Each structure stands twice: as C-alpha cells, then as structure tokens.
Structure 1
Amino acid sequence: MKQNNLSLPTECVIRKATSADKWPIRLSVFSAKLDPTQLRWQQFWVIECNGDIVACGQLRNFSNAQELGSLVVVPAWRGRGLGTFLTQHLINVATQPLYLECLGERLAEFYSRFGFVPISFEDLPRSLQSKFRWPELGKKLIKIPVVFMYYSSHT
C-alpha cells in the first residue's frame, strides 16, 4: 500500500530504532499510559525530528501474526500527521497478518481509515488471544471499551 502522499516534515526522518532509543521509547509509552510490557526496542520504528524521538510504534511478533502496538506521538508534535505516517509505514513493513488492540471508538475510527476492521476476541489468532485475555476480561466485566482489530487490505 502506498503512503497516501503523506510526507514527514523536512526536519524529520523515520528509521528503525537503535539501542540508544530504548529509554526515549519507554518514556513515551509510559507517559501515554500504554501497555508497558513487551517493549523491545528492536521491534520499534521511530520518527526523529531535530535529534529528538517524537513518535514511535512497534510490530510485535507472534505465531502467524503481528501486532501493531505502542504507537505514540509526543504531545508537542501531535496534529502534524506523524501518527498517520507511522501507522501507514508499519502496515507497509508488516510481514504477517496484522492485528491491534485499541481503547475506545475514537482510536478505532482512526485505525479504520487504514483498513483495520473490528473483530471479536474469538476471531483473534490463538497466539494473540493469550496476550489479550486480560483486556477481554475487562471488556466483559467492567465495560472497558477495548476494540480488537484486523488489517484487511480489501476495505
């Protein structure tokens, strides 16, 4: 899939994360209150602007599936298309069926623009069901607005 004519600001580059990015990635994920487990810098892509990491996201590898996760744009850089650019890039470099978990309809609408469609917990691959067991329980018991999604390039 093409980048939809998106471009980064001239002072920014997208690149694979390096070991030096480990702590900036962790700080971004923690400050966004995202799932802090499975933060492996080797799975991340970052957008660097003027020498600072301003966005990150990872493709977690599971058996016969990948999960797009930990997507964060630092507050000062939001509203400039970086999240859109990074999401499209992660879709483009994914090598297996792609899934994600998001919280709330607003995020589900964001990801649906790329071709992600909501699916039930039961339709997730087994390898992801074990990871998403707790969010599914929270969804059922206390109505946490968790949405599981699958990337379908046919939408």
Structure 2
Amino acid sequence: MKQSVSLPNGCILRRGTSEDIWSIRWLVLSAKLDPTQIRFSQFWVIECEGKIVACGQLRNFYDTQELGSLVVSPAWRNRGLGTLITRHLIEEATQPLYLECLGQRLAEFYTRFGFVVIAFEELPRSLKGKFGLSQLGKKLLGVPVVFMHYPSS
C-alpha cells in the first residue's frame, strides 16, 4: 500500500539550477557520496524556507539512467522528502533505471519503490565501468554495496 506523502508547508520540489550547485555539492559531500559527477541540470531539489534541504539526480548514460546522489539534510529527515524525490525521479526516468547503494537498510528503502537487487553482471555495459570500483571493493573488502534495477522503467 502506497503511503501518501506531501511536501511540508513552505517547501517546493523543482529542477536544480546553476545557483544550486554549491548547496547540492555540500549535501552530497556531507553524505560522503561521490561528488565528482555533479551536474546541476540532472538534479531535482527540495527547497524549504529558501534553503536546499534535499536532492537527487538522474544521471544519463548511453542506454540507461542512474538514480544517484539522493540526500536529505539531517534536520529534515523522517518527513518523507527522500520518498518524494525517489518517486519523482522514477517518474522522470525515460530509460532503464539503476542505482547502487550501501547496505541493507538503503536497499530496503529502494525496494519499497519496486527496485530489485541484481548482480553486477546484470548491469548494462555503460554502468559496469562506473560501478566497477564498487564491485572491486565488494569482492576484496566486503563493502556492502548493492546494485539495483527498477524493472518497470
């Protein structure tokens, strides 16, 4: 059963702009996520009271898209903002949609939206290069990386 989630009063969901780049970078870095492929034009943000408090992006590849850089500022967590952005990014996807996440808790979060766990070998070629280092860390160091696919996209 889908739980209805709405934006808190004073908040808007909108596409990222060039003025948002430093706020997006700060959120991504604060979550210890990869800051190297941040393109504001691929981001959607939630702005509350004039401040960016959540973000997520759809990275475009040749034949697929990646849901990535999903971050909610600690002060704004547990209000459904991550759910709102995730649902929105799924709706915006125009090609097969994939993601990588760390740990079972995050994998369970994405499972609620219909994502399924897949093996590294099942990833499209365009993502194998990008996720290759994660796979190496998983095999050699036991990093709990999980690869997922949204089958309906």
SS in 2 for 1:95: coil
Give, in whole Å, the separation in 2 of the partners of 1:16 and 1:85.
13
Deviation at 1:4, TM superposition (A): 5.2
The runs of 5 or more residues in structure 2 that have no matched partner are none
Give, in whole Å, the separation in 1 of the partners of 2:39 and 2:22.
11
Q: Counterpart in 2 of 1:143?
A: 142
List aligned pairs for 1:1-150, cutoff 5 A: 5-150=4-149
Give, in whole Å, the separation in 2 of the partners of 1:19 and 1:63.
24
Give, in whole Å, the separation in 1 of the partners of 2:52 and 2:119.
34
The runs of 5 or more residues in structure 1 that have no matched partner are none
Give, in whole Å, the separation in 2 of the partners of 1:4 and 1:67.
24
Q: Name the TM-score, length of structure 1 as normaliser.
A: 0.95
Give, in whole Å, the separation in 2 of the partners of 1:5 and 1:153.
21
Deviation at 1:6, TM superposition (A): 2.0
Aligned length: 152
SS in 2 for 1:118: strand
SS in 1 for 2:110: helix
Percent identity over the alignment is: 68
Deviations 1:29-66 (A, max 9, x none): 00110011211111000000010000000000011100
